[in-house]
Amino acid sequence: MTDPGRDPQYEQQVKTFDSLVQAVNAVLEQYGKHDSLDPGDYSVYEDYWGFRQVKVSIANLKVLEPVVIQRLQQVIRTYPEWEIVVAVVHRPNYRDWPEMGLYIRPHEIIDGLQREYFPKEFQNIEYEGARRGTVND
Amino acid sequence: MIPYKSPLATVVPSRLEVRLEIAKALYTLLEDGDEQLRERRAEIASIRQGLAEIAHEIAKFRRAAPAPILSELRKYGYNPEEPRIPKHSTGGGRWTDNGTQFAASGMDDATSILRSRGGHHFVPRAVYTNLPLKPETKKVFDDARTGPLKGARHGWDAEHDAYNQAVADALKKFLARSGIEPQDMTPEQALRFVFDVIGSNDPRIHDLNLQLYRREILRYITPFVPYGPSRN
């Protein structure tokens, strides 16, 4: 079994991943509080799983505001071939809401939000240039 | 009344020369049969020997095959000697007493879980990054990871979030149970906590770790199969 950790291409991907995580955190910390020992508004998953993605879990819908997503798309535009996966989570009863979220890519946003579950003030959130899609897009 | 006369009597030749000819013919046929029988027996013996060789090879493979698989699993903290709940009980197969397992395994085995290179952190960085831990304690959490993973696409599931919350809850309980503050935590205590996480029965923790192991094993077996969000 080849150890991907000893593959220079993989090492480069890890470096890019770490840099992207830092950039995503830099944006999100302006709009909410990161999880710590106590729950916050969002969490950035900081382990590279071998796929060109950074995953963010958002528990506070305020962090889903279009301005935040727009800023994240600006970040990802400097990382071609990478994407940010935003999962919207309902704590602590995760199963009360179906799996939903966004894929933020340099050229598009895939919108898989199921707004009917949101409180009224968040049901009209729209993202410029987004298209509706599924988790498999 | 006409007496009964067996029809068989009529087919047996009455002349001795004819009977002798028939006997010779039967003997010849039997000899041919014996020859064919010998040939069949030789074939069967040869097939049996071939099967025995195959069975031997299979047995050899079965003895040898688990070694590389176990070696891979050990990288992720799997210990086949670890006590488990009996197969047919509730929660069968799950790890039971982490503390006992940790104590029994010894420090050499325990530290084999520490790998500074890549993969999933058993204790997520989000949970401990902002805690005032000693550098050597923080290093244990930094290094307690699976090792590089070979690629799976993230979806919109909440498993990571649930995992982080569960580990944070577990760490708070661990600190309270040990009567310590984060800044007092020793590397040994950190390692013990890592093993608590690895052996956790909390489904939020257990399921994600198990999913990772399964997927890595599948990747090992089927290296070219793509794994997307719906196939995690």
Chain B environment of A90 (Cβ under 8 Å): 158
Rounded distance between C-alpha atoms, residue B153 and residue A136, angstroms = 10
Domain extent at residue A66: 4-132
pLDDT of residue B128 exceeding 50, the answer is yes
Mean pLDDT of chain B: 74
Residue B115 has pLDDT above 70, yes or no: no
Nearest to B156 by CA among A73, A24, A83: A83
Q: Is residue A122 included in any domain, yes or no?
A: yes
Domain total in chain A: 1
Rounded to a whole number, what is the distance in Å from the CA of A47 to chain B's nearest CA?
Answer: 6
Residue B95: pLDDT band (50, 70, 90) is low
Centre a 10 Å sphere on the Cβ of residue A101 and count the other Cβ atoms it contains.
27
Contact B151 A49 (CB under 8 A): yes
Which residues of chain B neighbour A51 with C-beta distances below 8 Å?
A: 151-154
Write the pLDDT tens digit of every residue in B22-47: 888 877 776 666 777 777 778 777 77
pLDDT average, residue stretch A28-44 = 95
Given a cut of 70, is residue A91 above it in pLDDT? Answer: yes
Query: Is the pLDDT at B137 greater than 90, yes or no?
Result: yes
* Run of H or E residues at A85: strand A83-88
Using CA atoms, how far residue B167 sits from A137, B123, B194, in Å, is 31, 7, 10
Minimum Cα–Cα distance from A36: chain B residue: B127
Does A88 map to a domain? yes
Q: Is A34 on the interface with B (CB under 8 A)?
A: yes
Which of A100-104, B103-107, B167-171 shows the lowest mean pLDDT across its residues?
Answer: B103-107
With beta carbons less than 8 A apart as the criterion, state whether B117 and A5 touch.
yes
3-state DSSP: chain B helix, strand, coil percent, rounded to 5?
65, 5, 35
Q: Contact at 8 Å (CB) between B190 and B140?
A: yes
The answer to whether residue A100 neighbours chain B at the CB level (below 8 Å) is yes
Cβ count within 10 A of residue A117: 14
Whether A101 is in a domain gets the answer yes
Q: Does A45 touch chain B (CB under 8 A)?
A: yes
Q: Determine the pLDDT at residue B97.
A: 45
**Assigned domain for A67 exists:** yes
pLDDT at B125: 92
A94 versus B36: the higher-pLDDT residue is A94
Structure tokens given for B67: 């070694």
Look up residue B218 and give its two tokens.
């599948």
Q: Which of A21, A60, A38 is nearest to B171 (CA)?
A: A38
pLDDT at B105: 39
B124 and A91 within 8 Å at the Cβ level: the answer is no
Residues 131-190 on B with a CB inside 8 Å of A are 131, 145, 147-158, 160-162, 164-165, 168, 171-172, 182
Q: Does A48 touch chain B (CB under 8 A)?
A: yes
Instruction: Identify the three-state secondary structure at position B134.
Output: coil
Q: What is the pLDDT of residue B74?
A: 62
C-alpha B193/C-alpha B205 separation (Å) is 13
- Top-confidence residue, A45 or B9: A45
- Is it the case that residue B98 has pLDDT exceeding 50? no
Find the mean pLDDT for residues A9-22. 92
Angle at B220 between CA B119 and CA B111, to 5 degrees: 45
Q: Give a yes or no: residue A13 inside a domain.
A: yes
Question: In this complex, do A94 and B155 lie within 8 Å of one another by their Cβ atoms?
Answer: no
Q: Flag whether pLDDT at B101 surpasses 50.
A: no
Closest Cβ opposite residue B120 in set A14, A47, A99: A47
Here the ipTM equals: 0.90
Q: What is the distance in angstroms between the Cα of A121 and the nearest Cα belonging to chain B?
A: 22
B119 inside 8 A of chain A by CB: yes
Query: What pLDDT score does A4 carry?
Result: 55
- Whether residue B203 lies within 8 A of chain A, CB to CB, comes out as no
The three-point CA angle A60-A84-A71 to 5° equals: 70
Higher per-residue pLDDT: B145 or B77: B145
**Which token pair is A65?**
């505001």
pTM listed for this prediction = 0.66
Residue B90 has pLDDT above 90, yes or no: no
Position with higher pLDDT, B181 vs B42: B181
Choose, out of A1, A28, A42, the residue to mutate when testing the contact with B (most B CBs < 10 Å). Answer: A1
Q: What is the mean pLDDT of residues B117-143?
A: 91
The answer to whether position A137 is within a domain reads no
Per-residue H/E/C for B30-76: HHHHHHHHHHHHHHHHHHHHHHHHHHHHHHHHHHHCHHHHHHHHHHC
**Average pLDDT in the B4-23 region?**
71
